[in-house]
Amino acid sequence: MTALSANRDTRKRLGADLEPLVKDGAVIYCGAMVAVNNSTGEAEPAADAANLVVRGRAKEYVDNTDDGLRVQIESGIFRWNNSEANPVTIASLNQIVYVEDDQTVGSAGGDNSVIAGILVDIDDDGVWVDSRPGAYITGPAGADGAAGADGADGAAGADGTDGADGSVPGGSYTATETDDTNGTLDIVTGLSAITSFEVQIRRAGVDVTSDAVLTESSGTITIADGSTYAITAGDVIAWLAAGTV
């Protein structure tokens, strides 16, 4: 394509709302937590299932028994039920919580470790979770300035601002046969620079992260075989990264 030479009718979509196709035969209740399958692009009730990425809350009831329907999804911060098996506590504030079903979150992931979002608060009625893709928290304080040429101490760096200095995207990925063969895989976070990141690898519901080799560069997290860990097709990799967009 070439640059414009006339006015253009550029369509707009509100960043907080989506309207994807619904999985064939799925029923989504109004107010349910909704995920999109990153293989098919179709929406379905959030669950501990492969390839699901939580996108928010259903704004309507949809029965897609006859197929072809879409669902309106609103992203934001929502209150979900707290898991009885793996209850979320205030100790998990600003950390990842996981999908148990389409109205419940827990402190630990199931076989697929589907991320519900970041814990914002807990009250008597449930758990408040930020499910926005690229949720924002306050950025870290800037580093102290270097000493001046005359030997005077440098001024303290400014605190990081919300947004660009504090973007915290996350997601999950299921390793493929190709990853298994290569012994390494890359996760593109959408950040231009990463200041910190967290990775959890589960195999058949068991955490196998401890010996994996984890590195990052220019917004990409690289996972590689370690001395005892080897990437295996079906490994479920949950990740969270903080940094600059």
Contacts of 70 (CB under 8 A, 6+ apart): 19, 20, 21, 22, 43, 62
Tokens representing 117 are: 């979002």
**What residues does 199 pair with on adjacent strands?**
239
Contacts of 176 (CB under 8 A, 6+ apart): 233
Average of per-residue pLDDT across 100-107 = 96
Domain of residue 61: give its range. Answer: 17-74
C-alpha–C-alpha distance, residues 212 and 186, integer Å:
13
C-alpha–C-alpha distance, residues 110 and 205, integer Å:
6
Tell me which of 105-119, 146-160, 168-182, 189-203 is least confident.
146-160
Q: What is the DSSP letter of 94?
A: T
Contacts of 206 (CB under 8 A, 6+ apart): none
Instruction: Kindly state whether residue 85 falls inside one of the protein's structural domains.
Output: yes
The pLDDT confidence band at residue 161, using thresholds 50, 70 and 90, is very low
E strand or H helix at 178: helix 177-182
Q: Does residue 69 sit in the same domain as residue 94?
A: no
Q: Does residue 34 sit in the same domain as residue 93?
A: no
Q: What is the pLDDT of residue 158?
A: 46
Instruction: Check pLDDT > 70 for residue 5.
Output: yes
Q: Does residue 182 sit in the same domain as residue 216?
A: yes
Instruction: Kindly state whether residue 25 falls inside one of the protein's structural domains.
Output: yes
Q: What is the pLDDT of residue 89?
A: 95
Query: Of 133, 155, 180, which residue constitutes the final position of a domain?
Result: 133
Give the total number of structural domains in the chain. Answer: 3
Average of per-residue pLDDT across 148-163 = 48
Q: Write out pLDDT tens, residues 36-69.
A: 999 899 999 999 999 999 999 999 999 999 999 9
Q: Does residue 171 sit in the same domain as residue 224?
A: yes
Percent of the chain scoring above 70 in pLDDT: 82
Q: Does residue 169 sit in the same domain as residue 211?
A: yes
Instruction: Kindly state whether residue 159 falls inside one of the protein's structural domains.
Output: no
Q: Does residue 27 sit in the same domain as residue 65?
A: yes
Instruction: Kindly state whether residue 152 falls inside one of the protein's structural domains.
Output: no
